[in-house]
């Protein structure tokens, strides 16, 4: 990874329509229960939502879309085959709900050298159709030296 | 919630089927999560669980109870989780309340595989009202 990429912000990704069945599929794959508000419409409605609520880590799908831009960026020079996931965090302004139309925008926050490896910190902001911030995803990737 | 309270503790069995299912659901088709030959080529003991699968599974019991109250969740992937083709990998996931401030409860999220902590410095903050 090119360390001079720090501070670069990539363009917004094309709008991603959050599907009800995609939420359900993701929730089942991450061991949510049948009465989860990510699987049961009744449970989501009881929680005050019109449709299924995405599981907490669903935002990774949006982060991944932004990360593809970095992987395809010759200036970034990121060898993804040597990448290991170090840290991941999410903070939520509101829940992601089926029917949301989301975009994401990634910035490179830091590139550090540590014991022969590179640690790259990314911040991805996720916005809804009204350009309101929905969630932030912070990720540290380790590129093995 | 009160400090010291164990909100949940649960055992989950990750199998190769779980990894394929997660790959499809998330779109993460890195072959180290389903092909032993490729995993070994890059110096790994064998197929590993997606870190994001462990992260997602470790929060699912809390979210299903208090989902709309989750405001932040962050983890460090401290150890890989190899998933044996026959036996799978049994994870023990748990959450303990470790702090309460400003209307938020801070929970330490743990995931243990083979007596080793695979998520370190992992916390969730939920609204405590």
ipTM for the whole complex:
0.96
Asked whether B16 and B85 are in contact (CB, 8 A), the reply is yes
Q: Quick one: pLDDT at residue A37?
A: 96
pLDDT class of B43 with cuts at 50, 70, 90 = confident
Q: Does B29 touch chain A (CB under 8 A)?
A: no
Q: Does B11 touch chain A (CB under 8 A)?
A: no
What CA–CA distances, in Å, run from A103 to A6, A14, A108, A128?
Answer: 22, 6, 17, 7
Whether the pLDDT of residue B115 is over 90: the answer is yes
Mean of pLDDT values over A122-135: 98
Whether the pLDDT of residue B111 is over 70: the answer is yes
What CA–CA distances, in Å, run from A113 to A2, A83, A143, B93?
Answer: 11, 14, 10, 32
Q: What is the mean pLDDT of chain B?
A: 94
Q: Does B74 touch chain A (CB under 8 A)?
A: yes
User: Phi first, then psi: what are they for A5, rounded to 5°?
Assistant: -80, -10
Chain A residues lying within 8 Å of B26, measured CB to CB: 26, 29, 60-61, 64
Chain A residues lying within 8 Å of B18, measured CB to CB: 29
Lowest average pLDDT, out of A17-26, A72-81, B81-90, B119-128, goes to: A72-81
- Give A75-110 pLDDT, tens digit per residue: 999 988 788 899 999 999 999 999 999 999 999 999
pLDDT class of B42 with cuts at 50, 70, 90 = confident
Whether the pLDDT of residue A121 is over 70: the answer is yes
User: Phi first, then psi: what are they for A59, rounded to 5°?
Assistant: -60, -15
pLDDT class of B68 with cuts at 50, 70, 90 = low
Q: Quick one: pLDDT at residue B67?
A: 63
Lowest average pLDDT, out of A33-37, A62-66, B65-69, goes to: B65-69
pTM over 0.80: yes
């Amino acid at each position: 990874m090119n360390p001079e990429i720090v501070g670069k912000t990539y363009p917004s990704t094309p709008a991603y329509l959050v599907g009800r069945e995609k939420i359900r599929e993701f929730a089942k794959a991450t061991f949510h229960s049948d009465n989860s508000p990510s699987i049961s419409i009744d449970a989501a409605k009881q929680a005050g939502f019109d449709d299924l609520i995405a599981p907490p880590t669903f935002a990774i799908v949006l982060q991944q879309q932004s990360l593809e831009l970095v992987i395809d960026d010759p200036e970034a020079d990121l060898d993804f085959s040597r990448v290991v996931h170090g840290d991941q965090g999410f903070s939520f302004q509101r829940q992601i709900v089926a029917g949301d139309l989301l975009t994401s925008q990634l910035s490179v926050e830091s590139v550090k050298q540590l014991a022969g490896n590179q640690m790259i910190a990314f911040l991805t902001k996720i916005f809804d159709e009204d350009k309101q911030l929905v969630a932030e995803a912070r990720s540290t990737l380790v590129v093995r030296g | 919630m009160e400090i010291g309270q164990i909100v949940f503790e649960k055992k989950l069995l990750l199998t190769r089927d779980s990894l394929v299912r997660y790959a499809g659901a998330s779109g993460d088709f890195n072959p180290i999560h389903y092909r032993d030959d490729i995993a070994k080529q890059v110096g790994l003991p064998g197929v590993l669980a997606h870190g994001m699968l462990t992260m997602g599974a470790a929060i699912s019991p809390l979210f299903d109870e208090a989902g709309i109250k989750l405001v932040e969740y962050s983890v460090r992937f401290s150890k890989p989780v190899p998933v044996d083709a026959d036996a799978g990998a049994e994870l023990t996931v748990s959450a303990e309340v470790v702090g309460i401030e400003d209307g938020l409860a801070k929970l330490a999220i743990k995931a243990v595989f083979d007596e080793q902590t695979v998520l370190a410095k992992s916390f969730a903050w939920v609204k405590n009202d």
